[in-house]
Amino acid sequence: MSRFAIISDLHSNIEALTAVLARLSREKVDRILCLGDVVGYGPDPERCIDLVVENCELTICGNHDEALMRGAHDFNPVARQVIEYNRRMLKPGFIAGAAKRARWRFIENLPVSHREGDALLVHGSPRDPVHEYIMKTDVIFIPDKIRDVFAHFEGLCFVGHTHFPGVFTEDLRFRDPSQLDYHYEWDGEKAIVNVGSVGQPRDGDPRASCVIVEDGLVRFLRTDYDIAMVQKKIYENPNIPDLCAARLEIGK
Ligand SMILES: [Fe+2]
């Protein structure tokens, strides 16, 4: 069986993405799959799209990728400001070159889900692939939601979207990677694995997050990258709110 990596929520952070791709090359994975949100928040959406096209066998549509095409009406003001800026950068005009058109077409045609053997891959949730957040607090405060989410798939389901890695099981438990000693051995029961975020982690660990999957074993990886460099680019860019830089060093 192949050894593949799953990455998600790159959010235009080329420094994080480059560091993760270098790590995955050292880890000798056969394939890389991406759960979306290639754009938004960070300073380098074009370079991130190019690297994803080059390195990922498959990319799923995230809510920021969708908002690039259809508008960010339901986004908070910070997320909306950056995605609208991204649209001005990326949308091909009448005389756009081939590379620009290809990037736009790539995001426009992303699928919303994918089945990979026993696993379903979506950005958010099996019952609402692009938009729904499965939060760790839902197991306590909205258990019926989690039960219904589990009724919408078989086997394993890989998600991103919350930027908070960990594993949900059908007995209404959530365990983060440190509680799992950074690996989860799939026992055949239904489970939802959140792979975390490459470009904007929100679990308090600022290192880029992703997973490697091999023979039912999911390994959670964290990778250091040059956070100061991304922050500098954001602070120098009047189109991106400073908050998008400040949060990177605390992973929130
Ligand atoms: Fe995201």
Ligand 1 center to 181 CA (angstroms): 25
What is the end-to-end Cα distance of the chain in Å, rounded?
A: 35
- We report the CATH number of the domain holding residue 201 as 3.60.21.10
CA-CA distance, 69 to 239, in Å (whole number)? 19
Domain that holds residue 169: 4-250
Ligand 1 center to 211 CA (angstroms): 16
3-class secondary structure, 111 = coil
pLDDT at 1 over 80: no
Ligand 1 center to 200 CA (angstroms): 8
Ligand 1 center to 163 CA (angstroms): 6
Number of domains in the chain: 1
Calculate the average pLDDT of the chain: 97
Ligand 1 center to 170 CA (angstroms): 24
Closest CA to 173 of 147, 201, 205, 202: 147
Structure tokens at 196: 């975390």
Half-sphere exposure of 89 (CA within 13 A, CB side): 21
Structure tokens at 232: 């500098």
Ligand 1 center to 97 CA (angstroms): 28
pLDDT at 2 over 90: no
Ligand 1 center to 201 CA (angstroms): 9
Tell me what the mean pLDDT of segment 53-64 comes to.
98
Residue 50 carries which side chain, given as an amino acid letter?
Answer: D
Ligand 1 center to 62 CA (angstroms): 7
Share of the chain above pLDDT 70, in %: 100
Tell me what the mean pLDDT of segment 43-56 comes to.
98
Share of the chain above pLDDT 90, in %: 96
pLDDT the model gives residue 74: 92
Ligand 1 center to 94 CA (angstroms): 30
Structure tokens at 126: 């099996």
Tell me: the pLDDT tens digits for 215-248? 999 999 999 999 999 999 999 999 999 999 999 9
* Predicted TM-score (pTM) above 0.95: yes
